[in-house]
Amino acid sequence: MESDAVDVKPQIDSTTIMNPLDPDEFKRQGYIMIDFLANYYRNVANYPVLSQVESNYLRKRLQKSAPFDPQPIEEILQDVQQHIIPGITHWQSPNFFAYFPATTSTAGFLGEMLSTGLNVVGFNWVASPAATELESIVMDWLGQELKLPETFLFSGNGGGVLLNTTCEAIVCTLVAARDKVLSHVGNDKITKLVVYASDQTHSTVQKAAQIAGIHPKNFHVIQTNKSTSFALSPEALLSAILVDLENGLIPCFLCASVGTTATTAIDPIGPLCNVAKKFGIWVHVDAAYAGSACICPEFRSFINGIEEVNSFSFNPHKWFFTNLSCCCLWVKVPSDLTSSLSTNPHFLRNKASDSKQVIDYKDWQINLSRKFNSLKLWMVLRSYGIGNLRSFIRNDVKMAKTFEELVKLDRRFEIFAPRILSLVCFRLKPSAIAHKVPIANGPQNGKLATEEFVNQVNNKLLDLINGSGKVYMTHAIVGGAFVIRCAIGTTLTEEQHVIMAWKVVQEKANSILGRTKEVSILQELNLSLPIIDLAMI
């Protein structure tokens, strides 16, 4: 019996099918996008640095569902200008002094554009030989400029890899360290492994320890203090190790910092290695921000002792004009990484890999897929040269010195931790607050507000600074003190912006310390804190 159903084939009009990569349209829209970004950079200083929007603002502005029909790039960019830009905290503003810089540059942008445009997936050598080989060359180039020992370069049987972030670098090296220790003591001892860091070490190390399966109680934080400028003490490390050994634990991994997030403290690499190596501890050096400066001879001493460590990383996307994301990791013994991170499925087998004469970067990282990131670092190095890159960094340090001197000239403020590179940590002095801020029932007769109250006032000062929209700074808690961080290094920042930032700080300090009537700062902060003798500070 024949079916009455009619086999209707869909009619496709080939003229309506878009070519998503039409070269002419790519060129037209590309020019429009470049013009848009050029105008953004030209005007970025005029935007409030810290976004002023409220949460969920964007859902109220954009359409409720994805469009069915295509929309022109002009209309899309109009929405970017009207709706997206107001919700951006402008990291490229010359008035951005928060966190650490996330520098960009023409070369970094074009390198990213080229990498994105080629869109190769270089997980192993055969997938794109140029991607692998350029990366190994660039890592040796940069390692040479940092004066890393030959043992960290491919030319000396070490090697380097480009990852996305410091967190990824620490996860990879911690896993390698973990497996190296467990290969000697047995996998059942994983609950005994200990990871060491200072109280100034970035929290990414704790996250890496969690990912690597280290027992939370075995992530040991060693306290620092102002007497060592908040650097990790080798003596304190040794004491912690000896206690752990007595308790039957197994020391495994130490992360030393060159340029901590809070104050840019520099841990003494050589002395720490002298302690760690006695117990077979893997030493990783995290120089995410400060590593860039080490291409300058006058700052190279920050990584003295690097020849003794197992691994070293820094982020060119912070202060090396190489757009996010880009993290350089060097290891002395690449097989330590690859033995922990390698997989060899049949569909990836090929003669080049089997020959062991090529690098397969998939075995140096967590992910399988990877971008052609070496292009942008290569373009930065070639477009500016080491000489100009050194000048950029030195100029930022010079501007930080200017800001530091301005702080010192105002007796109400203090530099809380030594300025090492381009980060200045400062606060209103307790004595300035005691003399100027009216506090119910005190302070008086040579007495001073508690540290908690001083912290609250400095916190309020920072809120006023950032609320102005003119500049953006962040804070740190160091030795129990709330300090304001002014991190200089954004690509567009000039001395005029630094001076303007200080004027904003003074203006907001005046608005706090100049109050002698109406409501007191204590009442405004809704605090009822005791006072203590100056002799106790």
| Buried-exposed string 163-189: b where 16+ CB fall within 10 A, e elsewhere | bbbbbbbbbbbbbbbbbbbbeeeeeee
- DSSP state at residue 289: T
Average pLDDT of the segment spanning 330-357: 90
> Beta 481-487 vs 423-428: how paired, if at all?
antiparallel
**DSSP character for 439?**
B
Instruction: Flag the least confident range among 66-80, 343-357, 437-451, 477-491.
Output: 437-451
Residue 219 has pLDDT above 90, yes or no: yes
The helix (H) or strand (E) run that includes residue 424 is strand 423-428
- Classify 537 as helix, strand or coil: coil
Distance of CA 453 to the CA centre of its chain: 30
Distance (Å, whole) CA 456 – CA 58: 32
Q: Higher-confidence residue: 354 or 203?
A: 203
The one-letter code for the residue type at 175 is V
3 state DSSP class of 221: strand
Please state the pTM of the whole predicted model: 0.89
| pLDDT score recorded for residue 515 | 54
Binning pLDDT at 50, 70 and 90, where does residue 445 land? very low
User: Considering only CA atoms, which of 170, 201, 421, 105 is closest in space to residue 314?
Assistant: 170
Domains and CATH numbers, the chain: 21-90 (1.20.1340.10), 151-338 (3.40.640.10), 391-536 (3.90.1150.10)
- Examine the pLDDT at 193 and tell me if it is beyond 70: yes
Residue 101 has pLDDT above 70, yes or no: yes
Predicted pLDDT at 432: 87
Q: Is the pLDDT of residue 530 over 50?
A: no
Closest by CA position to 194, among listed 219, 171, 222, 223? 219
Is the model's pLDDT at 141 over the cut of 70?
yes
Report the alpha-carbon angle 387-393-398, nearest 5.
120
| d(C-alpha 121, C-alpha 137), whole Å | 18
The CA radius of gyration of the chain, in Å to the nearest whole number, is: 27
If you ran DSSP here, which 8-state letter would residue 100 be given? S
Residue 258 is which amino acid?
A: V
Q: Is 321 left (phi over 0), alpha (psi -120 to 50) or beta?
A: left
% helix, strand, coil for the chain, step of 5? 50, 15, 35
At 104 the three-state DSSP class reads coil
d(CA 95, CA 472): 7
- How does residue 524 score in pLDDT terms, banded at 50, 70 and 90? low
Residue 134: C-alpha distances to residues 121, 144, 430 (Å): 14, 15, 54
Beta bridge partners of 96: 472
DSSP at 81? I
Percentage with pLDDT > 90 across the chain: 80
The whole-angstrom separation of Cα 361 and Cα 490 is 31
**Residue 350 burial class via C-beta count within 10 angstroms: exposed 0-12, middle 13-18, buried 19 and up:** middle
